[in-house]
Copies of this chain bind each other. A is one copy, B any other.
Amino acid sequence: MSEIMRDSNNPILTINDVTPSMDGIEVVGVFNPAACKFQDEYILVVRVAEMCIQTEGWFKIPIMNFTGERPQLEIKSWKQGEINLSDPRKFWAGPYRYLSSISHLRLARSTDGVHFTFSDNPFMFADLTNEAFGVEDARITQIGDTCYLTYTAVSINSFGVSLAGTVDFQTVQRYGMILAPENKDSCLFPEKINGKYVALHRPSSDNFGRPSVWYCESPDLLHWGNHSCLLAPYENQWERQKIGVGPQPLKTSDGWLVMYHGCGDDSVYSLHLCLLDLNDPRKVLKRTSEPVFVPETDWEKNGFFPNVVFCNGWIREPDDRVLIYYGAADSCICVAETTVNDLMGFLDRGKSKR
């Protein structure tokens, strides 16, 4: 019987473990971490979301201003009633959309994979105009000596997938936006396939069908083409709204093991799996018909955005155990443990642990 076991220390990171970036704002979520093992250290690249501490009659947001001599985090304000905050995450002001929070990426390190400590400073803060609303939801794929991060860059001009790289988790180099809006949820494969780098991604596609997982190729990681639709959401309660891929695919003798999330009825987020052909990842060999992991605990069911388990980071140990790091309710970080064998078991059953 395949199993994914929650750790008894969950949640392993919360908003209480990190201090705000400046006076007047507060951390409202630490969630959706990328994950890797680097020089025997467990590293999470955590999304830290911050909001303004509100004052009566106004709604304020933190936003990066690039018009001055150097970028600066500033507060932008609207009178209450000028904007509609029925969705706590975002709102329209005239023709422009804004986020109520700004996210940066911060490292958390551990020697055992469960007990993590945050760095004192952000690893990546909004640093380009196309990041003025923040950077979110990274995936890490190590290729050669470099750990590449694909992350969501958000600005007044929409959101796309940007690329960065680090060889030491001290400094980071940005390579610009590799997938144009509206796009997010992109992960790189850890090696070239048929001479090309390969990535999966999730264009938004509001006007046609449901947001789906797409495939693309690159000669150099910077420029991408040959896009094709790989997985469309199942028309069921778990995937009906949209799907998107999670962390870097794991290579197995049977194929590339890919985790993805589904957003279904009542915007519940759950985790799913598929297996792609080793030599042509455009071929879907197997796919779970039901989720392998769904919100169950209090901190998964309640939080900034309730009923969410969202995974964009996992670590495969040498003994084939897999540590699944996941954001819970856009608020905190949890870990669960399984094995490659158990994950393959879900695919062979074609259905989920419930």
Contact = CB atoms under 8 A, between A and B. Distances in A.
Nearest to A207: B182
A189 interface: no
Contact of A203 (B182, B212, B222, B232): B182
A159 B208 contact: yes
Contact of A157 (B155, B204, B206, B209): B209
A42 interface: no
Interface string A222-266: 111111110011010000100000000000000000000000000
Interface string A171-215: 000011111111100000000000000000101111111101010
B182 A228 contact: no
Contact of A229 (B95, B157, B178, B226): B157
B158 A227 contact: no
A227 B160 contact: yes
B97 A209 contact: yes
Q: Considering residues A95, A222, A227, which has the most beta carbons from chain B within 10 angstroms of its beta carbon?
A: A227
A223 B197 CA distance: 11
Nearest to A178: B225
Contacts of A220: 219, 223
Contacts of A225: 175-178, 218, 222-224
A30 interface: no
Give the number of copies in the complex: 2
Contacts of A290: none
A180 B158 contact: no
A232 B6 CA distance: 46
A160 B205 CA distance: 10
Nearest to A202: B180
A129 to B, nearest CB: 8
Contacts of A147: none
A204 B223 contact: no
A218 B225 CA distance: 10
B227 A179 contact: yes
A85 to B, nearest CB: 16
Contact of A182 (B130, B179, B205, B210): B205
B209 A156 contact: yes
A226 B96 contact: no
Contact of A206 (B94, B95, B206, B224): B206
Contacts of A175: 225
Which 7 pairs between the two chains have the least Cβ-Cβ distance?
A223-B223, A158-B208, A157-B229, A223-B225, A180-B227, A158-B205, A177-B227
7 contacts: A95-B210, A95-B240, A96-B209, A157-B205, A176-B227, A182-B205, A220-B223
